[in-house]
Structure 1
């Protein structure tokens, strides 16, 4: 069994063919909506303290359910809880598209996993649920799973900046580290949750509005 940290690095690698390169984690909608470059670090930190914690919490609960049983009966309730905490249809659609990419990776790398096979039978499961199934299959530690979700969200957004509003890449690295540091105080608490009710209910109305406006634009570089 591969080490939990190694698995986290694999799944966080931008070269992983999940379709993540087509998503800006809300950065393109934000910049098109009027976000200034000087405000990007605050945007990333705010994202880390809100919607990213919803994603991370959902993934941890999914992992718990899949470890308990390969085809858990509580997954529908979990997806409903995630959807209730993700009111933007555009953001839900983006997560489901990413979930499809992770499911494909999971079926290829862990072909005998009943948990991942279960996800493949669901109707467009969100990314967090599929990540939970992968984490359960590979016995990934909950804390590593939380940090993976946080890093992936922040790194996708920060990487998009280099295409949308080019800046010194070293500066962007600093933004990523600072945003991940913001999430660190929440890692332990999130790693312990086991029920949908315990998932943080944190929203980002401005970012959700930007995402909805972005979804109907005819000219855009990223899907979301």
Structure 2
């Protein structure tokens, strides 16, 4: 396989059409809609997610990238993420989504020992850990990685909106731009993370409760 530039790799990983993409994951939108959140308030819901859950994921990815490059403990990064993700439903969803990224990582980085080891685990690590290791192998910079995680999460969310609450697609493009712009000022600090203890501890208790209820539902389109 010819070498892949870091910028092209970031575009590939941010594409919701990956094996784990928007068809499987609503970034919390479906649980919120099922709980009765009005479609008019989905923008506010996603702003809350971008400032909490998504930043935890971005920080985890950056910490995993650093651990991979510095010979650090990836298990410690995973444990720190789990401690900051109290909802079992959300943890399970992140691990399920990781399977798709592990397949992509195995193709892009066939000699990576961490990815090879993770693919043999009965329970995979969460998506942000896998993204961080892939970013390390493809030389994606920490700030670009943080932006990638935020964009991918917001893009998955708005793609789900189109299936759950019909909207003008251009309106949702504008929403993604707005949401990514709102957290841009916080990403430099996220990109500077070097250890698991530095991952932000930001939770969204109501969203976590909705995720737990959603996991017990047998009438849903998305895994989470």
Query: What TM-score bracket applies, with the shorter chain setting the length?
Result: over 0.9
1:35 Cα offset (Å):
0.9
Greater mean deviation of Cα atoms: 90-99 or 113-122: 113-122
- 2:58 is matched with 56
- 1:9 is matched with 11
CA-to-aligned-CA distance 1:9-50 (integer Å, 9 cap, x gap):
111112222354211110000011111111111111111111
1:68 Cα offset (Å):
1.4
1:189 Cα offset (Å):
0.8
CA distance in 1, matches of 2:6, 2:51: 24
CA-to-aligned-CA distance 1:63-105 (integer Å, 9 cap, x gap):
0010113xx4x22221111011100000000000011111111
Verify: 1:78 aligned to 2:68, yes or no. no
How many residues of Structure 1 are paired with residues of Structure 2 in the alignment?
221
CA distance in 2, matches of 1:20, 1:96: 15
CA distance in 1, matches of 2:214, 2:114: 34
Verify: 1:118 aligned to 2:120, yes or no. no
CA-to-aligned-CA distance 1:141-188 (integer Å, 9 cap, x gap):
001100010001111011101000101111111111101011101111
- 1:139 is matched with 139
CA distance in 2, matches of 1:39, 1:88: 23
TM-score, normalised with respect to structure 2: 0.95
CA pair 121-75 structure 1, distance change in 2 beyond 3 A: farther
TM-score, normalised with respect to structure 1: 0.95
CA distance in 2, matches of 1:153, 1:177: 12
CA distance in 2, matches of 1:19, 1:170: 20
Deviating runs (4+, > 6 A) in structure 1?
Answer: none
The within-5 A match list for 1:15-30 is: 15-30=17-32
- Unaligned runs of 5+ residues in structure 2 are none
Q: What's the C-alpha RMSD, in Å, of the aligned pairs?
A: 1.2
